[in-house]
Structure 1
């Protein structure tokens, strides 16, 4: 059956009514498009009492058109990754009601009562328990898709199921290539131009990034979300499940430190943004301290959860030693710091910036915050292996970004 894009609200309603019984054939349904418009179409279907989400993948990047084809297999990968996350960490993702291969569409639960973590951080909200739950989520995601837990055959089956060449190619370009050269896709704030030029000529930096790219391309350690920034994490500190993770269409089996690095980087991007954001300096400085504490809590929760899982559920006798687990976590930390530096670079010099920094209206002040981002990125990429633990790291990056 050939693919057919939804062309009307009624198409979306018919799809939902055909594949779910959520609305019990109610005639009073409304459809609202809520996607950001870049790659896919996302709709909320609502009857006034309850709602759900429909996501449809086009055969190209929507914002560009047919000039940039994109495999629709990404929607299968997203549905499968969501189900995998629900198995390893129940309650951490929206429930998938239906995946339809012919329509290249998913029907899933609406998490409208949750707010994006990015927006919550921008607003300097108190988020008790969120960092700890995020750490446990990452630990479970890592462990249950790793060689500690899976048989060799099961691991290779996951690698095969999540081959994702089109979206991996996008990541390889926007993370490891564009921001480290004078690429036409880059988006460089004018006052930052001289620093960007120096960045592109830094041979030591580029060699370190090349090694990280090789890990990204070749190290099939765990199933990754592939795009775990704070815009893909939704939070509600008052809920039983405080964290919901969405949009794993970039999922693939890759280096264990990548997701964690992207997540840490987005906390640090907000840290730098707070230095020049609106509000009283004392308030912003206090929230910077909260951010650093949250990064420490995230790492502590992750390591404690992972060690407990490894002690109780490691299947391979060769990997049951606590020394092996400690060494694996040490490598995880080092790699995640390098990937964090790459993410901070691409969000500062590359095509896709973040609101944490872009909200700073004054161009010069925004460039100061972006300079802090690059200072942190330089430290993390070049010196990741020299840090003895997360508190040492947060102290070092804090010195580069506190309000001053």
Structure 2
């Protein structure tokens, strides 16, 4: 068993009965909650894989409290995990707030010793993944998430930063190695080998799992993606940008939980959004009461995905044209109309390379959510294992082709058309 993580003096996992006393000593939080601690209600609501999460309400308002544990909550103390992830989450939230404003929750207090963040209580927001399972449409989401990705990725890249500023940002996030290791193993390695924590719908998908472990083309393709993840410090990533890390209403979007933040390849974040929309698209067959009952929602999912990807590209390019302040592609090399025209061609070539990465990373995310440790409730909540396996088999089959034959997917329209065809033509696992 790995050694337990050493915790600093004063660290103590919070409980409702201890948290009230702690929060009462923070003036800013007392003002938000109002009243006295005896009038506050505290509930532990964390349903994620890693941390404690509390909702605290008082006579005047409420806050959310997130505290890191010295292990992976999903697994237990047999999987130690550093508390420093709270430090990286706080740093990422602060940077994201600077770049995107109200697209992330406001931080009220941060405690380094307790690895604890007190932040804005998002109500009546819900986790997006739950809303999409229920078939809720979010008309603002494409606009908001494309802005979030474009601004966080562009302004932390060499296109906007000086070399010294970029290297400082790399250094600031370099210590988040434990959470990067989770990604490296659970996304890029474990689904393609025998691994103790792997799981899938069995026996229905046993054959898929076995074939994935023997698929040389697939293993080479995912290894190339892993190498890019390990070596390409292109921009500050959220690192876990899926529909479970977004809270929203039909009118407001907030991105949460950036504890996996690090400097990595931009396509990893963009691909995570794509993967989760494709998973939800295929999962709708398992949630509809009658065949075809959710046809209009499936259409919304893919149309929104197309809008996200198109808007992201447009916004990123516009930021580059208007904010070319980085040391990459120096303006002195592209003077005059001819120079600008040549640079514009290169900008689009850059975005094409980013798109190719996005397709591959999306595929890797899709596969890990079916064959790896941590699954999506989009699929997990399908009660009938045969129906669930049929949805999952479509996810796996499309993902493999996206990863191995990425050249077949030059545009988002080619991806969404392939998803429609996969659902139409592949009837069962």
TM-score by length of 2: 0.89
What is the CA distance between 1:10 and its match in structure 2? 4.3
Match among 261, 268, 277 for residue 271 of structure 2: 261
What is the CA distance between 1:383 and its match in structure 2? 1.7
Match among 20, 23, 29 for residue 22 of structure 1: 29
Alignment partner, residue 165 of structure 1? 177
C-alpha distance in structure 1 between counterparts of 2:357 and 2:74, whole Å: 33
Alignment partner, residue 240 of structure 2? 227
Match among 178, 191, 210 for residue 197 of structure 1: 210
Alignment partner, residue 18 of structure 2? 11
C-alpha distance in structure 2 between counterparts of 1:8 and 1:126, whole Å: 36
Which runs of structure 2 are paired with 1:210-289 in the superposition (5 Å)? 210-238=223-251, 242-289=252-299
Bigger Cα displacement from structure 2, 17-26 vs 251-260: 17-26
Give yes or no for contact 1:115–1:236 (8 Å, CA) kept in 2: yes
What is the CA distance between 1:277 and its match in structure 2? 2.5
What is the CA distance between 1:65 and its match in structure 2? 3.8
Match among 393, 398, 413 for residue 391 of structure 1: 413
Give yes or no for contact 2:35–2:60 (8 Å, CA) kept in 1: no
Per-residue CA shift, 1:316-355, capped at 9, x if unaligned? 3725622232122111111011011111101011111111
What is the CA distance between 1:402 and its match in structure 2? 4.3
Match among 151, 160, 164 for residue 162 of structure 2: 151
Give yes or no for contact 1:275–1:401 (8 Å, CA) kept in 2: no
Give yes or no for contact 2:274–2:305 (8 Å, CA) kept in 1: yes
Alignment partner, residue 364 of structure 2? 342
What is the CA distance between 1:279 and its match in structure 2? 2.3
C-alpha distance in structure 2 between counterparts of 1:129 and 1:7, whole Å: 36
Show structure 1 runs of 5+ residues with no match. Answer: none
Which runs of structure 2 are paired with 1:100-119 in the superposition (5 Å)? 100-119=111-130
Bigger Cα displacement from structure 2, 16-25 vs 281-290: 16-25
Cα gap change, 1:65/1:139 in structure 2, threshold over 3 Å: closer, same or farther? same
C-alpha distance in structure 2 between counterparts of 1:145 and 1:256, whole Å: 10
Give yes or no for contact 1:75–1:104 (8 Å, CA) kept in 2: yes
C-alpha distance in structure 2 between counterparts of 1:48 and 1:402, whole Å: 53
C-alpha distance in structure 2 between counterparts of 1:350 and 1:280, whole Å: 30
Alignment partner, residue 184 of structure 1? 196
Alignment partner, residue 219 of structure 2? 206
Poorly superposed stretches of 4+, deviation over 4 Å? none
Alignment partner, residue 54 of structure 1? 65
Aligned length: 401
Alignment partner, residue 334 of structure 2? none
Show structure 2 runs of 5+ residues with no match. Answer: 1-7, 332-342
TM-score by length of 1: 0.95
Which runs of structure 2 are paired with 1:77-92 in the superposition (5 Å)? 77-92=88-103
Give yes or no for contact 1:4–1:103 (8 Å, CA) kept in 2: yes
What is the CA distance between 1:61 and its match in structure 2? 2.1
Cα gap change, 1:365/1:31 in structure 2, threshold over 3 Å: closer, same or farther? same
C-alpha distance in structure 2 between counterparts of 1:304 and 1:91, whole Å: 21
Match among 108, 126, 139 for residue 128 of structure 1: 139
Give yes or no for contact 2:68–2:86 (8 Å, CA) kept in 1: yes
C-alpha distance in structure 2 between counterparts of 1:224 and 1:307, whole Å: 18
Bigger Cα displacement from structure 2, 61-70 vs 301-310: 61-70
C-alpha distance in structure 1 between counterparts of 2:358 and 2:368, whole Å: 15
C-alpha distance in structure 1 between counterparts of 2:370 and 2:48, whole Å: 22
Bigger Cα displacement from structure 2, 82-91 vs 391-400: 391-400
Cα gap change, 1:376/1:54 in structure 2, threshold over 3 Å: closer, same or farther? same
Per-residue CA shift, 1:50-84, capped at 9, x if unaligned? 10011111222234443322111100100110111
C-alpha distance in structure 2 between counterparts of 1:116 and 1:103, whole Å: 26
Give yes or no for contact 2:402–2:408 (8 Å, CA) kept in 1: no
Give yes or no for contact 2:16–2:44 (8 Å, CA) kept in 1: no
C-alpha distance in structure 1 between counterparts of 2:297 and 2:133, whole Å: 10
Bigger Cα displacement from structure 2, 380-389 vs 67-76: 380-389
